Structures are given as C-alpha cells and as structure tokens.
Amino acid sequence: MELLDGKLCSEQIRREIKEEVDTIKTSGKRPPHLAAILVGDDGASQNYVSMKVKDCEEVGFGSTLIQFDANVSEEELLNKIAELNADNTIDGFIVQLPLPDHIDDNKVILAIDPKKDVDGFCPENIGKLCLGLPTFVSATPNGIMELLRRYQIKTEGKHCVVLGRSNIVGTPIAILMSRNNDTGNATVTIAHSRTKNLKEICRSADILIVAIGKTKFVTADMVKEGAVVIDVGQTRVPDKSRESGFRNVGDVDFDTVKDKCSFITYVTGGVGPMTRASLLQNTLIANQRR
Ligand code: NAP
C-alpha cells in the first residue's frame, strides 16, 4: 500500500505557484488576488476560510476577507457580490457554503461573474466542464485529479465508483473520470443513498472515490484487493485530547481498509490540502486570463 500524500503534493504545487507569482511581480504586473465571503460564525467554515487566506499570503497572492453576521440580508450579500464582480483588483472570489437558511444558495451562486468563479460552482462553468471546455474545475474534484496525475495512476478502462453525488464533489469528479482524455477514460458508476447492493458495487471498483460525510462508512469488506481509495469525507468529531476540541474523520475506515489498497489517501493529509492548492491554481488562472 502506498499513501497518496496530498500534503506533499500540495506543497509542491504551492512552490510552483509561488514561482509563477514571483515572475508576475518581477514583470511589474499585479499578483493574483482572491476574496472570500464568510457569513455567520460556523466554526468549520471560519476555519476553512482562514486557511484559504493564509494560503494566499504564503504564495504571494493578495487576499480580502469579507465577513457578515449570520443575519445579513440576501440583498446585502448580493450587493457585495456585484461589487466584487466589478472590482478590477480582484481576480476571483468565493462565498463559503453553507449559507444561513434565509439566503438562497443558488441565487448567490448565479450572481457570481463566471470569470471570477474560482470555486467553479456557476452553471456556466459546470456546463463548460461537461463539454470539456477550459473552465474553473471546482477545487476538490480538481485536487483529486491532480493527485491521481502526480502519482501516475492509470484511469483508462478502470471501473471507478464514486460514492456521493453532490454538485461540488461527486458529480463533477464522475464527469472528469469519464472524460475522453488521458486522465479520464474510466468507466464510472455513481452511487448514492438510494443505491442497492452498495457493498457489491464498491467491491467492484478499481478506483473508489468516497464523498458522503458518514464517518468510517467504507469498511474493508467493501473494497477490492489492490483498489485505489480516495477519501473525501471530512466530518468534525469531538476530541478532548486536541487543543481545538475536535478532529476530522473521513468516510473510509482507514485502519481496516489500508492493507487491501494499492493506494489510499488519509484524512487530513489527502484531499483536503489538494483542495486548498486547487483554489490557488484557479485564482492564478483567473489572474492570467484577465
Ligand atoms: P453532500 O452534499 O452532503 O452529499 C452527500 C452525498 O452522499 C449525497 O449524494 C448522498 O446521497 C450520499 N450519501 C449519504 N449517505 C449515504 C449512504 N449511507 N450511502 C450512500 N450514499 C450516501 O456531500 P459533499 O458536500 O460532497 O461532502 C461529502 C463529504 O466530503 C463531507 O464529509 C464533506 O465535509 C467532505 N468534503 C471534503 C472536502 C475536502 O476538501 N476534503 C471538500 C468538500 C467536501 P443522496 O444524494 O441520495 O442524498
């Protein structure tokens, strides 16, 4: 078994990005600038956004954090998005999800200029993804593809089972894995909460990508000998031994599954850091396109 080390890969990607930023600065141009909107005081969201801002600083990007109380009106949030769309000093921005119930996520996503949608959530960018056109591929699926590429894992002709069909992970990764190109060409099955014979389907996977948000759901009896297993899951569970009071747990029961795999990611050094690096890559692309 070999670990798919997302932490190591993401450090390499950050170094590559930093070199690009140094070149941009040397040539007298403005470095990439990412803005992030955070609504409310959800601990996990605050944590994700502060890590994204820190990542920007590390690679030499500019960053702007915009915070609203949980009771901000939808109109006020949409006004801020319009402002960011028009701001020429900002290359891309994200609105950290989930949003409070009184705000319509779809309205917010639709308001973002697709050219600045570095999360790749807008219909235009998802449409381009489906058509195989250049676009912002959302950060988590992009990070998974990058990890497979950097470990030279062959996907052609392989059976890939994607467990979970969310718009931000399961569905786009299934599209990318089935795409007719060097990093795709897998035969893809999407499984979800209504899937029958889930264990058998998972066991038939050469590549198993799990994004359901159910801790340690995938156990050794669901994994084929020699499979590649990618664990996207990241659920906070209380842990008094940690200063933070919690730890993140994946959807795969790593300890029992690892010995059956050829390659496996671990939480939190797998998909998480690759997601963060992908957001930086998308912001760099947004800057270069402007
Ligand atoms: P989501 O929107 O919550 O959707 C979960 C999906 O899992 C749904 O398609 C659901 O099926 C399916 N599902 C739930 N229970 C299931 C079960 N018992 N059997 C089979 N399928 C089941 O998921 P998400 O936003 O993609 O997030 C999934 C996990 O990934 C979460 O832990 C999240 O924190 C994590 N995540 C991590 C990163 C990262 O950077 N590491 C990024 C994004 C998400 P139905 O459609 O039938 O309801």
Q: Tokens 């930023």 appear where?
A: 21
Q: In the annotation, is 288 catalytic?
A: no
Distance 182 CA to ligand 1 centre (A): 27
Distance 162 CA to ligand 1 centre (A): 10
Active-site residue among 52, 80, 116, 224? 52
Question: What residue ranges define each of the domains in the chain, with the CATH number in brackets?
Answer: 28-114 (3.40.50.10860), 139-271 (3.40.50.720)
Peptide bond into 98 cis (omega under 30): yes
- CB of 236 within 6 A of ligand 1: the answer is no
Contact present, 183 and 148 (Cβ < 8 Å):
yes
Q: How far is CA 31 from CA 19, 229, 231, in A?
A: 12, 36, 33
Active-site residue among 119, 206, 231, 251? 119
Distance 166 CA to ligand 1 centre (A): 6
CA 258 – CA 129 distance, rounded (Å): 32
- CB of 84 within 6 A of ligand 1: the answer is no
Both ends of the chain: CA-CA distance in Å?
43
Q: Which two tokens stand for residue 142?
A: 């992009």
Q: What angle do CA 273, 181, 21 make, to 5 degrees?
A: 40
pLDDT in tens, 20-79: 999 999 999 999 999 999 999 998 899 999 999 999 999 999 999 999 999 999 999 999
- CB of 81 within 6 A of ligand 1: the answer is no
Q: In the annotation, is 96 catalytic?
A: yes
- CB of 233 within 6 A of ligand 1: the answer is yes
The pLDDT score that the predictor gives to residue 290 is 84
Q: In the annotation, is 52 catalytic?
A: yes
| 66 burial level (CB within 10 Å; 0-12, 13-18, 19+) | middle
pLDDT in tens, 140-165: 999 999 999 999 999 999 999 999 99
3-state secondary structure of 218: strand
Residues in the chain with pLDDT values less than 70:
none
- CB of 271 within 6 A of ligand 1: the answer is yes
> Kind and range of the H or E element at 39?
strand 33-39
Q: How many CB atoms lie within 10 A of CB 5?
A: 18
CA 216 – CA 157 distance, rounded (Å): 28
The whole-model pTM stands at 0.96
| Sequence-ordered alpha helix ranges (H) in 89-186 | 105-111, 123-131, 139-150, 170-178
Distance 290 CA to ligand 1 centre (A): 34
